[in-house]
């Protein structure tokens, strides 16, 4: 006892810390928070919230509610440690200098933010803190790996295919173990000075205070907070253990609905540590399968997220088409009315509208449902820019993170990451295969409840008598389909092909059904030099000769191709055109962004000109 | 760089400037006196914007800027800010091209956005291309097809200006436009000796007789793209006449608006046979966008199709017929099928379609063992193999990991199923 109090006495001179919460809204596996407490005399956990910003931001009410619930939960967990959360009204750059003085702060800690905007903000705060004589400690815990290490291993460029990413990961050490949860024992003598009027000054605001109208707002399908996240992960693992199958779960009608084992919003806000999830999965796999090395596919959900964080961390234009070196410029249509119909669930395709309704009401949709609506908006039917869809998801989707959201949209619209595009999801058939009965549609579009399963995915084809019996006349009570899918997909497949042909100078005319199938392992550099005979499949022979090898003097500008090279895993010959195409397209992409491709008029049909 | 300057040239230049030149300065090349052909060569690597900038450096470079060789190809981009994210070709540049370089243009394309005004602007330019010898003409809608919204008379009169004046057209791409039979007649009357490629998918104003007239007269036609309703036995026979060169590509789009509204005719086996006798190497490419129940008239007899694309769900029955009746099949893409796995159909295709080298499967369920059997039978000849991870049904014989390694073994290269991000 005496010893302890002497230790605490010597801590009188110990530093006063601030831990700055942004994401990472948790007490478990929070290394930066640990650093704040370690050897400190006082700790104050702050979260910045700008009430002015709240009303005008493009985040929907579900996202705000989730965030506020996370903060409430954090506050109540901190109370158990005789501490509190300080929600600060204002902007970090304006408020921090005052806090440093008022609280005599000498240490600031926060979790590393890998996104370009966050890096910029944090650099400014770090500078400001150093000037005030405050030590800054930053720890990585939102991602499994240090993303810069992945990029370094790839020769300085982020990998652009998931396969490549997996290869890099498999060469790295496993992620670091989660650190222990903040506890009273760990706190030791470190205290949080809390004033009488704490709740008034620093309490978590309500939705109403932020200016949201909450009348008639249904209760949250996805309650926010670390406590909920930790309950869910146990349930998630129990179910996995019970199924004892670690393959990706097969899609069925049930998987479309919000599940009490779903984790993605919790990972997004950092209520759940990705490393905790990672190691719990590993342990479970070892226990059930009795083998020691789980396959990478076990961590699919975590690795995809990591992949997009890696791709975005050095690219401030990652969420744009223009000026984004990894995004193909596609001449999307600007069509605000069509966009509004999509966003407001009025497309006339029940499958699409039900998903968009679920998204707006609950804030989450299944990943294949995301594919369905994203494909419909972009390359499949409406030919509207992925950026517009991304913004709608940003508003409505609880787990939409800047990097993951933009990356997924680029992926699904075939704007990057070398996706093959021959297949468009059918807005009728896809849903019917997933949920033949149409219960999902009846749940979210009650107006269609009366339709029999036969017509519920294409009610406009139902005879008048069926529509009358269903008490829903198409064109009156529910819109007619806004596009003819067959016609739209014919046009759009053709346009996509044209774009990629232009990029890679393929000859057109039908022959090329597979233009872009490069999500495979890449080959050695020498394969690029492989004779042209390998290209005859694509009707390319003779065309390459007509293209200058250094386009527009930018031959050195293959911004990311070196990283895609990988030697010694494949036999050349068969796959040579993959590599050739990749490098070719890399160059083309580059040229695309620096010149408005006027110099090489990409004729889709090149054969008779020479 | 130094070697391209003749010593006399640099000396002459130095003397003209009349300044004492130090030894180091004498090695500085005089870019203004680069020979024309060198500048031209360099300019060919530059974008128009860069060439335009460079042309203001000196008179010599400006002369080169206008050399006809640099104006053989031009792509007019016509977009409206309200409908497109992309910029348009500057109106001044368009005027300059029409005034100074129209006669040099040989390969011309127009890219228009979904706005009718853009398509009309393209027609206005077309009707000014009077003194031209255009060889290649492409009208390309980059979003919704806007040429269809231009009045037919405006479109047709603009197009026929080019047809009448150029007289040496070899490639024409006019998909999704209101081109009609009379304008095709004008095309034939003026360009029958030179026409080699005609792409005109989804041109609703053309009739089977209109396209037949092209095939009858243009004996050099090697590539043709059209919709199925224009395809007839007569057309195939015309393309197989003795006077006709070998056809290289025939692309056919089969589209229906609503189920049951379109009746599809069939093509006689004898007509296909005649075509293949005449052009044994021809690629016959068919794109289908039909409802499942509309496939009945197709592939009931042997059909020499080489490339097949199914944009919508196809019945097992139909895929079964492909295995039976499409011996020349090279590429097959099936975007979707019904609920039952496609195992038997694929295996039959592997067995009977000996030329098959590429296959892509979208939402088509296949069991892992069925898929393995298919791959085993095709082996290394499959240069393209694409299937979504989600649709492979694991069974007792193979897990996903095993599929990856087994397929790689049979293909002789590393192979993975296509993956989609899980959010």
Q: Given B46, B289, B331, which is nearest A513 (Cβ)?
A: B331
Contact B84, B143 (CB under 8 A): yes
Contacts for B266 with CB less than 8 Å, ≥ 6 apart: B297, B298, B300, B301
Contacts for A542 with CB less than 8 Å, ≥ 6 apart: A532, A610
Contact A554, A587 (CB under 8 A): yes
- CA–CA distance from A70 to each of A73, A323, B6 (Å)? 5, 36, 76
Chain A nearest C-alpha distance from B314 (Å): 11
Taking CB atoms and an 8 Å cutoff, what residues of chain A touch B106? 609
Write phi, then psi, for B307 (nearest 5 degrees): -130, 125
Chain center to CA of A380: 21
- CA–CA distance from B52 to each of A141, A306, B48, B62, B210 (Å)? 52, 44, 6, 8, 44
Beta-sheet pairing, A42-49 with B384-387: unpaired
Amino acid A609: pLDDT: 32
Q: Hey, are the CB atoms on A552 and B144 less than 8 Å from each other?
A: no
Lowest mean pLDDT among A95-104, A383-392, B126-135: B126-135
Taking CB atoms and an 8 Å cutoff, what residues of chain B touch A430? 336, 363
Chain B nearest C-alpha distance from A430 (Å): 8
Give the end-to-end CA distance of chain B in Å, rounded to a whole number. Answer: 54
Write phi, then psi, for A482 (nearest 5 degrees): -75, -20
Residues of chain B with pLDDT under 50: 1-23
- Ligand-binding annotation for A305, yes or no, is yes
Q: Given B111, B138, B313, which is nearest A429 (Cβ)?
A: B313
Contact A456, A274 (CB under 8 A): no
- Ligand-binding annotation for A399, yes or no, is yes
Q: Given B84, B312, B383, which is nearest A426 (Cβ)?
A: B312
Q: What is the DSSP letter of A319?
A: T
Taking CB atoms and an 8 Å cutoff, what residues of chain A touch B414? 520-521, 569-570, 575
Q: Chain A residue closest to B137 (CA)?
A: A603
User: Average model confidence (pLDDT) for chain A?
Assistant: 80
- Ligand-binding annotation for A306, yes or no, is yes
Amino acid A547: pLDDT: 23
Lowest mean pLDDT among A416-420, A457-461, A570-574, B250-254: A570-574
Please check the confidence at residue A566 and state whether its pLDDT lies above 80.
Answer: no
Q: Given B82, B199, B309, which is nearest A605 (Cβ)?
A: B199
Amino acid A58: pLDDT: 78
3-state secondary structure at position A162: helix
Please check the confidence at residue A352 and state whether its pLDDT lies above 70.
Answer: yes
Q: Hey, are the CB atoms on B85 and A509 less than 8 Å from each other?
A: no
Q: Hey, are the CB atoms on B413 and A603 less than 8 Å from each other?
A: no
Taking CB atoms and an 8 Å cutoff, what residues of chain B touch A608? 135-136, 170-171, 196-197, 222
Please check the confidence at residue A578 and state whether its pLDDT lies above 70.
Answer: no
Q: Given A307, A574, A599, which is nearest B383 (Cβ)?
A: A574
Amino acid A324: pLDDT: 92
Contact A328, A341 (CB under 8 A): no
Q: Hey, are the CB atoms on A595 and B411 less than 8 Å from each other?
A: no
Chain B nearest C-alpha distance from A325 (Å): 16
Categorize the per-residue pLDDT at A211 as very low, low, confident or very high, splitting at 50, 70 and 90.
confident
3-state secondary structure at position B171: strand
Taking CB atoms and an 8 Å cutoff, what residues of chain A touch B418? 420, 519
- Ligand-binding annotation for A603, yes or no, is no
Q: Hey, are the CB atoms on A333 and B113 less than 8 Å from each other?
A: yes
Taking CB atoms and an 8 Å cutoff, what residues of chain A touch B45? 548, 550-553, 599
pLDDT in tens, B48-86: 888 888 888 888 888 888 888 888 889 999 999 999 988
Tokens of A513: 């059904």
Amino acid A55: pLDDT: 62
pTM over 0.90: no
Query: Of A414, A402, A411, A418, whose CA–CA distance to A330 is shortest?
Result: A414
Taking CB atoms and an 8 Å cutoff, what residues of chain B touch A335? 83, 114
Chain B nearest C-alpha distance from A437 (Å): 13
Q: Chain A residue closest to B194 (CA)?
A: A608
Q: Chain B residue closest to A430 (CA)?
A: B363
Amino acid B27: pLDDT: 66
Taking CB atoms and an 8 Å cutoff, what residues of chain B touch A551? 45
Chain B nearest C-alpha distance from A153 (Å): 22
Q: Given B170, B388, B423, which is nearest A408 (Cβ)?
A: B423
**Beta-carbon contacts below 8 Å between A and B:** 264
> What is the longest distance spanned by two Cα atoms in chain B?
90
- Ligand-binding annotation for A400, yes or no, is yes
Amino acid A10: pLDDT: 54
Among A601, A602, A604, A606, the residue to mutate for chain B (most B Cβ within 10 A): A601
Chain B nearest C-alpha distance from A427 (Å): 10
Chain A nearest C-alpha distance from B156 (Å): 22
Q: How far apart are CA A497 and CA A512, in angstroms?
A: 8
pLDDT in tens, A524-562: 222 222 222 222 222 222 211 222 222 222 222 222 222
Taking CB atoms and an 8 Å cutoff, what residues of chain B touch A327? none
Please check the confidence at residue A593 and state whether its pLDDT lies above 70.
Answer: no
Contacts for B14 with CB less than 8 Å, ≥ 6 apart: B21, B26
Contact A74, A45 (CB under 8 A): yes
Q: Hey, are the CB atoms on A517 and B386 less than 8 Å from each other?
A: yes
Q: Hey, are the CB atoms on A609 and B257 less than 8 Å from each other?
A: no
Taking CB atoms and an 8 Å cutoff, what residues of chain A touch B421? 162, 304, 307-308, 367, 407-408, 411-412
Q: E strands within B113-170?
A: 136-141
* A520-538 CB burial, b ≥16 within 10 A, e <16: bbbbeeebbebeeebbebb
Lowest mean pLDDT among A244-253, A340-349, A430-439: A244-253
Please check the confidence at residue A3 and state whether its pLDDT lies above 70.
Answer: no
Taking CB atoms and an 8 Å cutoff, what residues of chain B touch A404? 423
Q: Given B48, B82, B313, which is nearest A599 (Cβ)?
A: B48
Q: How far apart are CA A480 and CA A65, in angstroms?
A: 34
Contact B264, B232 (CB under 8 A): no
Chain B nearest C-alpha distance from A445 (Å): 24
Residue A406: half-sphere exposure toward Cβ, Cα within 13 Å: 20
pLDDT in tens, A290-338: 877 888 888 988 999 999 999 999 999 999 999 998 998 899 999 999 9
Residue B132: half-sphere exposure toward Cβ, Cα within 13 Å: 31
Amino acid A567: pLDDT: 28
DSSP string, A15-83: PEEEEEESS---STT-HHHHHHHTT-SEEEEEEEE-HHHHHHSS--HHHHHHHHHHHHHHHHHHHTTT-
- Ligand-binding annotation for A213, yes or no, is no
């Amino acid at each position: 006892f005496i010893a302890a109090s002497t230790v605490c006495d010597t801590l009188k001179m110990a530093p006063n810390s601030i831990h700055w919460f942004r994401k990472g809204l948790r007490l478990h596996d929070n290394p930066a928070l640990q650093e704040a407490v370690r050897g400190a005399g006082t700790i104050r956990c702050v979260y910045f919230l700008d009430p002015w910003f709240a009303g005008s931001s493009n985040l929907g009410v579900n996202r705000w509610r989730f965030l506020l619930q996370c903060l409430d939960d954090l506050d109540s967990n901190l109370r158990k440690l005789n501490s509190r959360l300080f929600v600060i009204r204002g902007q970090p750059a304006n408020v921090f200098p005052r806090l440093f003085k008022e609280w005599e702060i000498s240490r600031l800690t926060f979790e590393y933010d890998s996104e370009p905007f966050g890096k910029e903000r944090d650099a400014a705060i770090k500078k400001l803190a150093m000037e005030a004589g405050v030590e800054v400690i930053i720890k990585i815990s939102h991602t499994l790996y240090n993303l810069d290490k992945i990029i370094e291993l790839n020769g300085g460029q982020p990998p652009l295919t998931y396969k490549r990413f997996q290869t890099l990961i498999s060469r790295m050490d496993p992620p670091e173990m989660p650190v222990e949860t903040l506890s009273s024992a760990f706190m030791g003598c470190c205290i949080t000075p809390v004033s009488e009027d704490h709740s008034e000054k620093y309490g978590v605001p309500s939705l109403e205070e932020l200016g949201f109208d909450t009348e008639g707002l249904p209760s949250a399908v996805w309650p926010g907070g670390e406590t909920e996240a930790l309950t869910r992960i146990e349930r998630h693992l129990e179910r996995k253990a019970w199924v004892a199958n670690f393959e990706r779960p097969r899609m069925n009608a049930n998987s479309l609905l919000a599940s009490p084992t779903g984790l993605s919003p919790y990972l997004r806000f950092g209520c759940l540590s990705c490393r905790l999830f990672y190691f719990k999965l590993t342990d479970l796999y070892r226990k059930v399968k009795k083998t020691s090395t789980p396959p990478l596919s076990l961590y699919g959900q975590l690795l995809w997220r990591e992949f997009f964080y890696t791709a975005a961390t050095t690219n401030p234009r990652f969420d744009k088409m223009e000026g984004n070196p990894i995004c193909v410029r596609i001449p999307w249509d600007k069509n605000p009315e069509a966009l509004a119909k999509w966003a407001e669930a009025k497309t006339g395709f029940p499958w699409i509208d039900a998903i968009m309704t679920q998204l707006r009401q609950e804030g989450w949709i299944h990943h294949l449902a995301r594919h369905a609506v994203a494909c419909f908006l972009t390359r499949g039917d409406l030919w509207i820019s992925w950026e517009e869809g991304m913004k709608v998801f940003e508003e409505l989707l609880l787990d939409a993170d800047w990097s993951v959201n933009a990356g997924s949209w680029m992926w699904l619209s075939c704007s990057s990451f070398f996706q093959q595009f021959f297949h468009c999801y059918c807005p009728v058939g896809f849903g019917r295969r997933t949920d033949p009965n149409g219960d999902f549609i009846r749940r979210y579009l009650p107006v269609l409840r009366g339709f029999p399963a036969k017509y519920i995915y294409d009610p406009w084809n139902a005879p008048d008598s069926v529509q009358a019996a269903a008490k829903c006349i198409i064109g009156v009570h529910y819109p007619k389909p806004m596009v003819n899918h067959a016609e739209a997909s014919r046009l759009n497949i053709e346009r996509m092909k044209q774009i990629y042909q232009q990029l890679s100078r393929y000859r057109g005319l039908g022959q090329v059904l597979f233009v872009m199938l490069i999500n495979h392992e890449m080959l050695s550099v020498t394969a690029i030099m492989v004779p042209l005979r390998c290209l005859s499949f694509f009707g390319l022979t003779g065309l390459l000769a007509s293209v200058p090898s250094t386009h527009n003097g930018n031959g050195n500008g293959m911004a990311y191709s070196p990283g895609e090279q990988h030697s010694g895993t494949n036999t050349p010959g068969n796959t040579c055109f993959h590599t050739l195409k990749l490098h070719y397209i890399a160059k083309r992409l580059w040229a695309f962004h620096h010149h408005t491709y006027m110099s090489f008029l990409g004729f889709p049909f090149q054969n008779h000109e020479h | 760089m130094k070697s391209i300057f003749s010593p006399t040239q640099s000396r002459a230049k130095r003397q003209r400037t009349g300044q004492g030149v130090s030894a180091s300065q004498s090695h500085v090349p005089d870019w203004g006196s680069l020979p024309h052909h060198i500048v031209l060569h360099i300019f060919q690597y530059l974008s128009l914007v860069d060439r335009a900038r460079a042309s203001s450096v000196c008179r010599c470079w400006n002369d080169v800027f206008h050399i006809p060789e640099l104006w053989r190809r031009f792509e007019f981009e016509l977009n409206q800010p309200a409908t497109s994210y992309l910029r348009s070709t500057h109106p001044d540049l368009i005027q300059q091209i029409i005034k100074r370089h129209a006669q040099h243009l040989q390969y011309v394309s127009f890219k228009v956005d979904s706005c009718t005004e853009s398509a009309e602007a393209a027609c206005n330019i077309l009707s000014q291309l009077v003194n031209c010898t255009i060889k290649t003409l492409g009208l390309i809608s980059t979003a919704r097809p806007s040429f269809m919204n231009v009045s037919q008379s405006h479109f047709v009169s603009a197009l026929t200006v080019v047809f009448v004046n150029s007289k040496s057209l070899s490639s024409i791409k006019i998909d999704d436009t209101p081109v009609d039979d009379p304008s095709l007649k004008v095309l034939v009357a003026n360009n029958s000796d030179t026409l080699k490629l005609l792409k005109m998918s989804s041109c609703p104003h053309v009739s089977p007789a209109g396209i037949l007239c092209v095939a009858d007269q243009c004996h050099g036609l090697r590539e043709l793209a059209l919709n199925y309703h224009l395809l007839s036995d007569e057309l195939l026979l015309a393309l197989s006449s003795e006077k006709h060169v070998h056809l290289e590509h025939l692309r056919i789009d089969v589209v229906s608006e609503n189920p049951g509204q379109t009746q599809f005719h069939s093509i006689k086996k004898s007509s296909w046979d005649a075509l293949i006798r005449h052009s044994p190497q021809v690629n016959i490419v068919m794109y289908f966008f039909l409802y499942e129940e509309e496939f009945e008239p197709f592939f009931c007899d042997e059909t020499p199709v080489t490339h097949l694309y199914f944009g919508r769900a196809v019945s097992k029955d139909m895929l079964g017929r492909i295995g039976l009746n499409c011996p020349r099949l090279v590429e097959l893409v099936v975007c979707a099928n019904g609920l039952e796995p496609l195992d038997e159909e694929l295996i039959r295709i592997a067995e009977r379609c000996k030329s098959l080298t590429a296959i892509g499967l979208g939402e088509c369920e296949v069991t892992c063992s069925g898929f393995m059997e298919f791959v085993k039978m095709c082996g290394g000849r499959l240069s393209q193999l694409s299937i979504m991870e989600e649709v492979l049904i694991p069974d007792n014989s193979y897990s996903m990991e095993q599929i990856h390694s087994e397929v790689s073994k049979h293909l002789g290269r590393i192979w993975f199923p296509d993956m989609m991000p899980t959010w």
